[in-house]
Structure 1
C-alpha cells in the first residue's frame, strides 16, 4: 500500500506541476485549459484537474506519463529532486494518430 502524502508534499507537487505546465505554454487559469493540456500530455482531463487541484496525488506510472509529456524529470516532478527539464515533451498517442492521419491526406 502506498504511503499517504502530507499536505506539504501535495502542495509542493502542485507547484511543480504548475511550473511544468506553464513552461510548456499552458495558461493554467480559466476554462478549458485542463482539457487542452491533458490531451497534449496524454492523461485524462479529470485526473489532471484532480492532481492540479490537490484532490489526488498521481501514482508512479502517472508521474512517468506526466513527466514524459511535459519534458521534465520524473524525480523532480514527484519529489523535487534534480533538475526540472530533461528533454522536449513526447507526443501523446492522440498527436501521433493525428500526424499519421494528416500525412495520408
Structure 2
C-alpha cells in the first residue's frame, strides 16, 4: 500500500468515525450526507470517500467538517484535536449572549439543527412516543403522523415543540408516570443552565430519556440525574455521550 492509499484509508476511518458519533448508520450514509449536508455531487462519489477509494477536495472537506462539527485539520490530515473544547468562561459568555437576545415567538435555531415540520397554527401539540423523540435527535423528522395523541399547546412552546408522556418513576415526585411534559427542541446546548430538565438520547438507545442536567466546573463535568432521591443511580450518563433532543418547558396534567 502506497502513501496515497494510506491517506485515503486514514481519512475514510476518520470520516466514518465522525459519522457514527453523529448517529449515522453504516448503510445509507452517502444518501443522507448528500441530502442533509448539501453536497452537489453524486452518492457514488461520496461512497468512494467512505470506502477509501478517493479523497474529497478542500471545499468538500470543509463542508464535511462543518456539518459533522469537527476540526478541519483533524478531518483532513488527522492533525490537532478532533473538536474544540470551549472553556467555562467561553460557555458562560455564549449563554449570556443568547439570554440577552431579543425574545420572539420562536426560539433561536442552533447551528446544524434540521427544523421539524409541525402545524404552527394548531392549538394542539403532538404527543410522541419516546422512540420517536429519540429518532428526532438523529435528524429524523417527526410530524403529527407520528403522534400517539395530542395535548393543548402552551404559550411558551415554539411551533416545533412536542409533548411526551412521562414513563417510570425516576422523576418523582415532581413528574408522575403518565403526566404530559412539553419539549422545546429549538434550544441549543449553549442555552442550557444548571438544573434544567432535558430530553436526551444517549449512546445506541432507541428511546429518549428524561433527566435533570448538572453543570460542573468544565464541559467535561456535566452529568444527568433523576429527581427521585430514592432512585438507585443518582449520577447518570455523561452528557458528552448524549444527543440533546430538547428542553422540558412545562407539563400538562390530565385529571
TM-score by length of 2: 0.32
Which residue, 32, 35, 53 being the options, matches 2:31?
35
CA deviation vs aligned residue, 1:16-72 (integer Å, no higher than 9, x gap): 00111001000113xx33212332222243332121112221111111001001101
Larger RCO of the pair (alpha carbons < 8 Å, separation 6+):
1
Residue 79 of structure 1 deviates from its aligned partner by 0.3
Q: Aligned-pair RMSD on alpha carbons? A: 2.8
Structure richer in strand, relative to its length: 2
Cα 1:47–1:89 change in 2 (3 A) is farther
In 2, the alpha carbon distance for the partners of 1:86 and 1:56 equals 27
Give structure 2 stretches of 5+ with no counterpart: 86-109, 122-255
In 2, the alpha carbon distance for the partners of 1:24 and 1:46 equals 21
In 2, the alpha carbon distance for the partners of 1:22 and 1:6 equals 24
TM-score by length of 1: 0.71
Runs of 4+ in 1 over 3 A off after TM superposition: 86-91, 101-105
Give the alignment of 1:11-30 within 5 angstroms. 11-29=9-27
Aligned pair count reads 93
In 2, the alpha carbon distance for the partners of 1:104 and 1:46 equals 38
> Which protein has the larger Cα radius of gyration, Structure 1 or Structure 2?
2
In 2, the alpha carbon distance for the partners of 1:27 and 1:16 equals 15
Give structure 1 stretches of 5+ with no counterpart: none
In 2, the alpha carbon distance for the partners of 1:84 and 1:68 equals 12
Give the alignment of 1:34-73 within 5 angstroms. 34-43=30-39, 44=41, 45-73=43-71
